[in-house]
Amino acid sequence: MYQKLGHYSTALSFYDKAIELMKKALPYNHPDFASSYSNVGSVHMSMGQYSTALLFYEKGNQIHESTFPVSPLHLASDYANIGSVHKSLGDYSKALAYYEKSLKTYQKTLHSYHPALATSYDNIG
């Protein structure tokens, strides 16, 4: 909620607390870490700290890719987030590659009229 209110430092503080607690209770590659890392990446995106956002999105994606069973929807979301960072950094070819990877993953998983596909097409356009 703090992120939505624009209180980014407070949001990061709470995400850091969550991650520290998870480190005590969960294996390092637990999917909950991926969600928290993605949340941290999102805050950094909101702050315009794109390189830091990329690090956290990639960290979350690595966990999602190593988790069994792999969740295609999480992967597709990760790819779209990473694509958005590259777009913000002005690296449009990398952004396009990640957006296309996200679209292909969604196409394998979702029905043909799902809203996530529309978002993917919009990202690529």
User: Of 60, 122, 124, 55, whose CA–CA distance to 93 is shortest?
Assistant: 124
- Assess whether 51 and 89 both reside in one domain: no
What CATH number has the domain bearing residue 46?
1.25.40.10
* Structure confidence at residue 81 (pLDDT): 98
* Structure confidence at residue 67 (pLDDT): 86
DSSP state of 67: S
First-to-last C-alpha distance (Å) of the chain: 31
| Domain, as residue range, for 28 | 1-70
32/29 Cα distance (integer angstroms):
8
Token pair, residue 118, equals: 């529309």
Block means of pLDDT (10 residues each) for the chain, length 125 residues?
96 98 95 96 98 98 90 96 98 98 97 95 96
- Count of structural domains within the chain: 2
* Structure confidence at residue 5 (pLDDT): 96
- Assess whether 37 and 88 both reside in one domain: no
User: Of 4, 71, 8, whose CA–CA distance to 34 is shortest?
Assistant: 71
Token pair, residue 86, equals: 């590259």
> Helices (DSSP H) in the chain: which residue ranges?
8-25, 31-46, 50-66, 72-88, 92-109, 115-124
